[in-house]
Amino acid sequence: MKFFQHTHRALVAAAGLLLTACASPNQPIAEQGPPSPATAAEMAVMARHDSLMAKMDELYRLKGLITKAKAPGAGPYFRGLAAADAAMMGWMHQYRAPDSTAIPAARLAYFQQQQQLLATVSRQFRATIDSASLFINRQPALPSPSESAPSN
């Protein structure tokens, strides 16, 4: 019985240490102190991804407004928004973060490449959202994109 109590205490202590080590979700458990360049690059990629994902609602909302407009010439704006959506989904499907045990220089290079790819997706998002918003603003029967945005 003493063996089981000792083992149970050891497991509880190990779980406590693991939870303490997991308190910082922004860097691997093995890293102490400031993040390595590869980890910092990975965090930057994830921050840009999160920023783009936050714009997906805007993209879908604009697609809905353009569909509702049924205005001549709406097709290119709708297709632009759909292409931006597809670019984001394409990036997410190809993204494969290297294992944290991979060579640090290789990890850093991968995350730098992903940052460039996401920068392209980000420019596409910005351009298509801006142009679709302008198109909608020119449609007299529709509220402007800012008027139809959900209030928080």
- The tens digit of pLDDT for each residue in 1-19 reads 444 344 344 433 443 433 3
Report phi then psi at 140, rounded to 5. -65, -25
Nearby residues of 35 by Cβ (< 8 Å), 6 or more positions away = 26, 27, 43
Which is higher by pLDDT, 71 or 21?
A: 71
Look at the pTM and tell me if it is higher than 0.85. Answer: no
Tokens found for residue 50 = 């999160």
How far apart, in whole angstroms, are the C-alpha atoms of residue 15 and residue 90?
A: 38
Say if residue 116's pLDDT is above 80: yes
> In percent, how much of the chain has pLDDT > 70?
71
On average, the pLDDT of the chain sits at: 80
Tokens found for residue 126 = 């910005």
Tokens found for residue 25 = 């979700």
Q: Give 31: exposed, middle or buried? Use CB within 10 Å, 0-12, 13-18, 19+.
A: middle
Which amino acid is present at 123? R
